[in-house]
Amino acid sequence: MSGWVAVAGLGPGADALVTPEVTEALGQATDLVGYIPYVARVPDRDGLTRHASDNRVELERAAHALELAAAGKRVVVASSGDPGVFAMASALFEALEAGPQAWRCIDIRVLPGITAMLAAAARAGAPLGHDFCAINLSDNLKPWAMIERRLRLAAQADFAMAFYNPRSRARPEGFARTLDILRQECGPDRLILFARAVSTDDEELRVVRLEDAAPDMADMRTMVIVGSSRTRLIERSGSPILYTPRWAA
């Protein structure tokens, strides 16, 4: 079988953050599969067939990619950020596990990318420079009670926290609840970063204390990072630097 699937991370937006490994896979592909805006980030060329699909059809998209590869195509599944962090890699393996045995012979690679939390952290300073966790705040695929439990335990562990999908159109109240829980567990002075559309022309960064954080500071393009108890701001000309020291007492 000569077909393959590469689940490729396109990074947060800027071309300068796409790895050469991903660029090479895109150059070899016969088929490009993915969510509409991610497929749109890859330039057209002869010999590349594009299969853009809507949000929330990850399993169908994954099965389609595996079918194409089983038929001998060289398929890139385009993912934003890193494909292994709240993105297409897990969906592909769910489809693989549920699919025909023959699919298990397909050559599958996951090509890592710059995930949103690390791009946002780099632009703000180094808020994830000590122990941290990453939580998907969308309750599409898990119950809210699990999210709340994880938020409280992560706060008790004094992790910095990176939140993906902080505010969905369908359930905007979830992020308001998240901020309430964080204020209870971490107090009003804890620093929180809202990083929107990092590495694109629309990039906006904002650091406030939890007491001043409002749900509408995040939208669907925003990455949110809450510091640990040790996270600090360095004031200077230009934007301040948000960072977490390497040491802890």
- Considering only residues 126-155, where is the footprint of its own copies by CB under 8 A? 126-136, 141-143, 146, 149-150, 153-154
Q: Does 205 bind its own copies (CB under 8 A)?
A: no
Helix, strand, coil abundance in the chain, percent, nearest 5: 35, 25, 40
- Is 119:11 a contact under the CB 8 Å cutoff? yes
Among 4, 5, 13, 17, interactor with its own copies by CB under 8 A: 17
- Give whichever of 216 and 249 is closer to its own copies, judged by the CB atom: 249
Within residues 33-92, the interface with its own copies by CB under 8 A covers 58, 82-87, 89-92
Structure tokens at 246: 């390497």
Tell how strand 31-35 and strand 74-79 pair up: parallel
- Give whichever of 45 and 56 is closer to its own copies, judged by the CB atom: 56
**Cα angle 227-232-235, degrees, rounded to a multiple of 5:** 130
Q: CA 19, CA 97: separation in Å to the nearest integer?
A: 28
- Give whichever of 19 and 30 is closer to its own copies, judged by the CB atom: 19
φ and ψ at residue 134, rounded to 5 degrees: -125, 125
In the complex, the smallest distance separating the C-beta of residue 142 from its own copies, rounded to whole angstroms, is: 4
Among 67, 94, 185, 203, interactor with its own copies by CB under 8 A: 94
- Give whichever of 33 and 85 is closer to its own copies, judged by the CB atom: 85
